[in-house]
């Protein structure tokens, strides 16, 4: 594992806060990351390389087929993407458009290959991973427009790609989760593809939140508050853009949210963005969207994607649970908008996985 640190040193828990007991693998990573340099201080080129070294794998390391392709769409006319498929599929596969994390700046399909491959294997679905233009090369909403154009193209080309567009989901982690849920809003607003489900790992939902988790985990737990705010400014520093729900999902209102696809929202206990992710889950539920929200104790931001944490119990459970959510099982509703039996079955499966593997659910 690289000795490069993520963010600054540990802060003690306050007298009115429960003690945070980190998983041993998580604690080891936090201890190794307690001193500079920190990723956000390296700049995009060195930061991307450092993250690749931390992840320490290639696209050939996993038991799925990965192919790079280019779609003739998007603001520039071309969007590259990776297609991850389980080996030897027997027919058209459910499809998940997966938005990789990395704070809009650092990640790509290579850094997230382990997580995506495990999700693809667990769900028996194809994962389409846009190589959207990252910051600082582009700013909001370029990456979103590229990814939405690709989403639409994938549905149009579903037969050629051997995909079942009737079982379409979006997913993402970190900033990718922020963009994934934005894609559901864009599809609704534009009369676009029908998305059946959304899987959101620790989304960043508003740059201006002042929440207990932003205070408690402001430093010492891999992603610091200072770094989070810096990454947001690289994405956009235009307050008018930040007020748009596709940039800041927590700003969304009933017209944006009503009728969005069912969601699984996964958060980490010791994460600066924990509370805003959970608040977004509540906001979705308030607008009638079926939501399962799960907080994994003893872990930190990025826990589902980081190679050093791959064998930690929270990561294993979160990937297993995400595989259920992205398996292509329909999430239909009746004419009255209530969940039908098939949807309740999926929700119960998610809860069974959560209870079995030990996260805190609510």
> Could you read off the pLDDT of 260-280 as tens digits, one per residue?
999 999 999 999 999 999 999
What radius of gyration do the chain's Cα atoms show?
19
CA–CA separation, 38 and 27 (whole Å): 17
pLDDT digits (tens, 9 = 90+) for 219-272: 999 999 999 999 999 999 999 999 999 999 999 999 999 999 999 999 999 999
> Residue 117 pLDDT more than 80?
yes
Q: Is pLDDT of 285 > 70?
A: yes
- Give the chain's count of helices (H) and strands (E): 12, 9
Q: How confident is the model at residue 61 (pLDDT cuts 50, 70, 90)?
A: low
Residue 330, pLDDT > 70, answer no
For the whole prediction, is pTM greater than 0.95? no
Is the predicted pLDDT of residue 210 greater than 50, yes or no?
A: yes
Average pLDDT over residues 74-92: 94
d(CA 101, CA 56): 17
Mean pLDDT of the chain: 88
The fold of 24-361 is Rossmann fold (3.40.50)
Cα dist from 140 to 29, 107, 130, 233, 305, whole Å: 32, 16, 15, 10, 24
For residue 15, what pLDDT band results from cuts at 50, 70 and 90?
A: low
Query: 15: buried, middle or exposed (CB in 10 Å: 19+, 13-18, 0-12)?
Result: exposed
Across 67-88, average pLDDT: 96
Rounded to an integer, the average pLDDT of 9-22 is 64
Q: pLDDT at residue 356 above 70?
A: no
Q: What would the two tokens of residue 108 be?
A: 């790509």
7 CA to centre of own chain:
20
Average pLDDT over residues 174-201: 98
Mean pLDDT across the stretch 140-166? 98
- CA-based nearest residue to 207, from 188, 225, 229: 229
- In our burial notation (b when 16+ CB lie closer than 10 A, e otherwise), range 114-124 reads bbbbbbbbbbb
Instruction: Find the range with the poorest average confidence among 25-34, 62-71, 238-247, 316-325.
Output: 62-71
Domain boundaries, the chain: 24-361
* 3-class DSSP state of 280: helix
Residue 130 has pLDDT above 90, yes or no: yes
**The predicted structure's pLDDT at residue 56:** 84
- Residue 333 is classified by DSSP as B
């Amino acid at each position: 594992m690289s000795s490069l640190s993520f963010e600054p040193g540990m802060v003690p828990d306050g007298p009115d806060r429960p003690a945070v007991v980190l998983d041993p693998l998580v604690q080891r990573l936090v201890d190794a990351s307690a001193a500079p340099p920190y990723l956000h201080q390296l700049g995009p080129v060195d930061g991307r390389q450092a993250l690749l070294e931390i992840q320490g794998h290639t696209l050939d390391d996993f038991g799925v087929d990965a192919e790079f392709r280019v779609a003739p769409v998007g603001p520039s006319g071309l969007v590259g993407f990776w297609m991850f498929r389980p080996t030897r599929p027997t027919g058209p596969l459910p499809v998940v458009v997966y938005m990789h994390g990395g704070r809009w700046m650092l990640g790509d399909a290579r850094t997230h290959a382990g997580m995506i491959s495990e999700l693809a294997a667990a769900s028996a679905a194809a994962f389409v991973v846009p190589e959207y233009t990252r910051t600082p090369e582009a700013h909001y909403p370029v990456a979103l427009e590229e990814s939405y154009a690709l989403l639409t193209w994938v549905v149009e080309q579903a037969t050629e790609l051997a995909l079942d567009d009737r079982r379409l989901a979006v997913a993402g982690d970190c900033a990718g989760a922020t963009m994934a849920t934005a894609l559901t809003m864009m599809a609704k607003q534009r009369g676009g593809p029908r998305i059946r489900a959304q899987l959101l790992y620790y989304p960043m939902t508003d740059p201006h939140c002042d929440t207990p988790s932003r205070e408690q985990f402001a430093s010492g737990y891999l992603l610091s508050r200072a770094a989070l705010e810096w990454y947001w400014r690289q994405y956009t520093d235009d307050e008018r853009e930040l007020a748009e729900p596709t940039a800041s999902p927590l700003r969304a209102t009933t017209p944006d949210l009503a009728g969005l696809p069912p969601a699984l929202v996964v958060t980490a206990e010791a994460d600066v963005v924990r509370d805003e992710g959970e608040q977004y889950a509540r906001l979705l539920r308030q607008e009638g969207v079926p939501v399962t929200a799960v907080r994994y104790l003893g872990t930190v931001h990025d826990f589902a994607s980081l190679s050093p944490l791959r064998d930690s119990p929270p990561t294993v459970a979160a990937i297993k649970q995400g595989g259920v959510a992205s398996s292509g099982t329909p999430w239909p509703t009746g004419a009255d908008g209530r969940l039908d039996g098939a949807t309740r079955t999926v929700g119960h499966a998610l809860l069974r996985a959560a209870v079995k593997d030990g996260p805190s659910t609510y």
